[in-house]
Each structure stands twice: as C-alpha cells, then as structure tokens.
Structure 1
Amino acid sequence: MKSKILFFILVGVLTNAQINRFFYEYKFIPDSNNKEDVKKEIMLLDIDKSGSSYYSHDKFVSDSIGRAELEKQLKAGGGNISINRREKPGQVSFKVTKEYPDFKTYLFRSISTDKYKIKEDKKQEWKILPEKQKIGEYNAQKAVASFGGREWTAWFTTELPFQDGPYVFYGLPGLIIKIEDATNSHSMVLVGNKIIKTAVSEQELQVPDHVKVLGVGGKEIEVTKDQFKKAWKTYENDPTKNMKELMMKNGGDSNTKVSFKVKTADGKEISDPNQVIREMEKSTKEALKKNNNPIEPDLVN
C-alpha cells in the first residue's frame, strides 16, 4: 500500500485537573509597510501548578478537529487520507511553555515541515515604574523592558497571584495583563479568564507504519536561538528545500508516494511537481516579504 505524507501540524496542550485560563487579545501588524492591516487573535494562557502554556485558541480548535478527522480515517482504513483546511485555522502558529518554579521557558515554532523547540536563555530585566492605572477590573502598575529587539511596556496586577504573562514574558510581582511594544506593532491585553475543572489529556496518536503524517509523531528539534536563526536564514534563502528533499526521497522509495497540489492566485490547481515547487517558492517569498514585522526581530534578523 502506498503511503501518503500529509501536512498536519498538531499542537497538543496537556492540562491538569484545574487550570486558570486567561484570554488575551493579541493585535499585531505583520507588514511594517502596511500599518493599517492589523490582525487579531485570541490567545490562551493556561496556568496550573506545574507551569503555563500560551497558544492560539483558533489554532488549537482547528488542530483538535483535524486530529479527530485523522483518527477517524485511520480507524476506517483505506489507502487515501485527507485533511481538509479548517475555516479558521488560526493566524498564530507559535506556542510558549514555562515550567515552574524556575520558569524554564520554551518557544515552539515551525520552519516549513520542521518543528523547533527554542530555549529562552534570557530573563527580561524589568524596570518597575510608579505609574498606575485600572485595566478592565484590575488595578495595574507599569513596567518596561527591552527584549527580542523591541522596547516593551507592561502593566501587571498583584490582584492575581501569578508572576507570569503572555508569550515569553514573566518576572513581575503579579500577572501581566497588558503589554505592547514601542511601535504599537504587537500588543496583548487580558480580556477574560475562567477556571477549567475538567481534566483533559491528549494521548500520542498511533499512526500505522505505512502512513506518514507530517506534524504527528516525532519530537521537536531542540535548539538555541542562534541555531534557530541559522535555520531561518537557510529557509529564507531556499524556502522549498524540504519539499525538494521529499521529492527526491519519493523518487528513490517505491513504497512512498508524496502527492503535491497547490492552487495559484487565480485558482488554478497545479499538480506537476516542478511547477508546484516553483509556485510554492514564489508564494512563500512573497509571504515572507509581507511578514516582515515579527514579535521578536532578533530571532530572525
């Protein structure tokens, strides 16, 4: 049976019996040359006694539905497996975890088909200022720090007993409920919270040997920030490197079949491998040009 290699990114969030879930509205400007185009995403900060996870709500829902579809098709058997693109797949693909009590922090990001686990080795050095204001229902105090190539202003509250915050931010005497950079390109504001009492855990999906599903199974590549930056530069220079390697393997392995299909801007479907590669390279480079305002410039520049 010929196997199918699918592109399916799964973000699993492990939860304990009780989780404090905080909802943040993340506003960001991907293209510094088009500041009117402001994206919005609801992000979740889940905190329990062992640590925290920060991730996109829409992406988590999309991945969970896709996972359920994949499990159903695997149980049904058959040679063809397909994962349909979700209506709201999520605009933010990264995830951040922190481990208590030492706040060991990891940023999870992908480059093409490779998944990376990036260790954060620098703690933010906050300067707490006397200014105070009420944000939502909480009294908050101002703090500033330089991080990742940006100047950040945070507002934290001691009314919530967590020295944590959205993304990689932490280290203030309370929960960070608002944070934005000096250019107003990235901001995260607390918009709600609740306690999750139901225990949920995601078991590793068992995939048969004859089926290869990219994004399911395997471990992230653990790297330093410098190593990730090097991998990113390689990707910028040759964004279809992984695809071409898959095509080469496909040519030399009679038991593996890789199917490529893409649609051009005018809706035309392309299946010829060489045309697919050219179209993917063109569209990826165009997307990279428009995504020039990352949350951490120092990570990719």
Structure 2
Amino acid sequence: MKKLFSIFFITLFAFASAQDNDSKETANRFFYELTFKPKKDSVKTEKVMTVLDIVKDRSVYRDYTMIGQDSIMKVQIEAMQKAGTFKDLSKSIRMPKFSEKIVKHYPDMKLQYIERISSGFTPAGIAYSETAKFDWKILNDKAKIGAYNAQKATVDFGGKKWVAWFTTELPFQDGPYKFSGLPGLIVKIEDEGKNYSWVLQGNRKVPNWEELSYAEKISNMNLKVTEMPREKFEKTFTEFKKDPFATVRPMMNQEMLSKTIPGMDGTIGDMLKKQEKMYKDFFNSNDNPIEPPYEKLKVGKVEKVGKEKD
C-alpha cells in the first residue's frame, strides 16, 4: 500500500514542486489569472489561476490549482489512509496547467526555475538559476487596471515583446512568472501576440504561510532541488517527459504489476499505464511555451523614455 501511494504521489506531485522550508511566515498572496494559447496553430485560449506569494526574502510563483484544493486533498487522503483502500484522486482533483515553480530571492532577484521529476519511487526536484534583470522601457501612458492606478512599460523577453502595467500602490518590484524589476508590482502583462496574458485579480494576507502544501508534506518527497546548468536541466526534464516512469519501471516486477488494491479499478499495471498517459497528455497539451529553450534574459537597466510612438 505504501508503495502504491508512492506511485500515485509521483504522478500527482510532479505537478506541484516544492522546497524544504518549514518556517511559518506571513505572505502577501497575489492572484493572477493567466489566459494563454496552449497551441501555436490555434486561436483557442485557456485560463488558469496562478499565484505570487511574497515573503520577506523571496517570492514564489506557481499554478494555484493544487494549492487551492489542499483541504479537499487532506480529507480524501486521510480517508484513504484510515480505510486502507486506494482511491484514484485524479477523478476528483483538478490537475494544474503548469508544473513549474519560480522562486525569486531578494534583493538580488536571483531566481530558481524548478521542476519535479521522479527518481524511483521518490519525486526529486531539479532547478536552474539565473539573475532576473530586464531592460524595461517605462512609458508615460497611464491607465486604471482593476483597482490600481498603473503605468505602462515594455520589454523584449523570450523572443517576444511584452507590454506591462505596474502600480506603485503595491510596493513590490515583482510580478508573475520571471518578470520583475519595475518600480512597483506588475498588475498586468502580456506579449503582443497575446499568447500569454496575466491580470491581477486580487490579493490577501496568508498568515502562517508555508511553502509546502499538506499533500506535499505527507508524500515523503525528497524536497531538496539539484541545481544544474540550464541546458542540462532542459535535457534532463525532456528525457523525463518522454518516459516519466523510466526509473520506476525496473523496480516493478510482474507479480507486483498484476496485483489489485482494495478500492482500485484494475491492477497496479493498469494504473501505471493510466498515469503514464496522464503525464504524456499533460506534457503534450502545450507546444507554445512562454519562452523558447535556452533563451537568455537580456541584462540591462531600467530606462525611462517618452510616450511610445505607433
């Protein structure tokens, strides 16, 4: 049963990366609705809620889907453990759209881009680091974005031109994804082709904030991340996406694969095939990334210019 839970958690929580940080702090949580085009050759868009949690020495950006279901997960997992039966939570839990987590460290804005892969029955974190510096052009244009007075800025990043609106009413030089460095919080940012568009929807204080969710804590994951150069990171993650259970499969003999567990439809082997399909469907659902592989952020300083010309 314990091994079965391990397989399930590998599948579910590879989408919810984490770090080893149990200290309780108060966080400023900013909710950004992300509208994006998952396919290059389609105009169809999807939406997902993402969050930027800002604490004293860093910020953490990620898909909010798993965090938002924490209480549901707690009830269902505790019921499974008590009953000694397995339930396929993928039937009742919404899966995220994005698996990465981005941690920006203050004040130097060195960021970690983190993904989670499996190492046998243990999820393992891999990461690359870079310094987040953007050559922003701050314009004179002003607008009301939601509840905030905002000012326009532009930047080239990831092969795209981005238009951002920031507000000094929220004194954080941060924003969604990797974006940062403006004299206030970014309340809206999108590329000119509207492939990705984040809009701030609200914010609240989170007392006793912890970076780990309930489900992440009980999954006994190895929470340390292995730092590597970006090129090696992308190669490692690409190999994982091609065969998510490459390190698990050799540990599963035929006898184990043919077993059934109370409360589970089919055998463990059937479940593995289903989870593998879930992985591949997830990774194949988006061929229109925010930035291309090996794209380097341009290093520059914030520049004030006049109103942008048409």
Question: Fold-level match, TM-score > 0.5?
Answer: yes
Distance 2:149 2:213 in 1: 40
- Displacement of 1:92: 2.6
Distance 2:133 2:117 in 1: 25
Match of 2:292 in 1: 297
Partner-residue secondary structure (3-state), 1:97:
strand
Distance 1:151 1:129 in 2: 14
Distance 2:2 2:73 in 1: 22
Q: In the superposition, relative to structure 1, how do residues 81 and 222 fare at CA in structure 2: closer, same or farther (>3 Å)? A: farther
Structure 2: 5+ residue runs without aligned partners? 296-310
Partner-residue secondary structure (3-state), 2:89:
coil
2:164 and 2:186 in contact (8 A); partners too: yes
What amino acid does structure 2 have at the position aligned with 1:3? K
Match of 2:158 in 1: 148
- Displacement of 1:84: 1.3
2:65 and 2:95 in contact (8 A); partners too: yes
- Displacement of 1:91: 2.1
Q: In the superposition, relative to structure 1, how do residues 111 and 147 fare at CA in structure 2: closer, same or farther (>3 Å)? A: farther
After superposition, the C-alpha distances for 1:55-112 in whole angstroms (9 at most, x for unaligned) are 22222123554355445655x485x555512332332322222222222211222356
What amino acid does structure 2 have at the position aligned with 1:31? K
**Of 225, 228, 234, which aligns to 1:223?**
228
Match of 2:56 in 1: 49
1:70 and 1:83 in contact (8 A); partners too: no
What amino acid does structure 1 have at the position aligned with 2:62? Y
Match of 1:89 in 2: 95
- Displacement of 1:192: 1.2
What amino acid does structure 2 have at the position aligned with 1:26? L
Distance 2:251 2:45 in 1: 41
Distance 1:19 1:114 in 2: 26
Distance 2:258 2:138 in 1: 55
TM-score of the superposition, structure 2-length normalised?
0.73
- Displacement of 1:121: 3.5
Partner-residue secondary structure (3-state), 1:216:
coil
TM-score of the superposition, structure 1-length normalised?
0.75
Distance 1:114 1:149 in 2: 30
**Of 17, 26, 30, which aligns to 2:34?**
26
What amino acid does structure 2 have at the position aligned with 1:293? N
What amino acid does structure 2 have at the position aligned with 1:58? T
Alignment map for 1:120-269 (pairs within 5 Å): 120-196=130-206, 198-201=207-210, 202=212, 216-235=221-240, 239-240=242-243, 242-251=244-253, 257=256
1:247 and 1:258 in contact (8 A); partners too: no
Structure 1: 5+ residue runs without aligned partners? 208-212, 262-268
Partner-residue secondary structure (3-state), 1:6:
helix
Partner-residue secondary structure (3-state), 2:60:
strand
Number of matched residues?
276
Distance 2:126 2:229 in 1: 10
Q: In the superposition, relative to structure 1, how do residues 31 and 199 fare at CA in structure 2: closer, same or farther (>3 Å)? A: same
Distance 1:174 1:289 in 2: 36
Q: In the superposition, relative to structure 1, how do residues 19 and 226 fare at CA in structure 2: closer, same or farther (>3 Å)? A: same
Distance 2:56 2:271 in 1: 51
2:124 and 2:222 in contact (8 A); partners too: no
Q: Does residue 104 of the first structure (1) align with residue 110 of the second (2)?
A: yes
Distance 1:53 1:159 in 2: 21
Q: In the superposition, relative to structure 1, how do residues 193 and 216 fare at CA in structure 2: closer, same or farther (>3 Å)? A: same
Partner-residue secondary structure (3-state), 1:59:
helix
Partner-residue secondary structure (3-state), 1:245:
coil
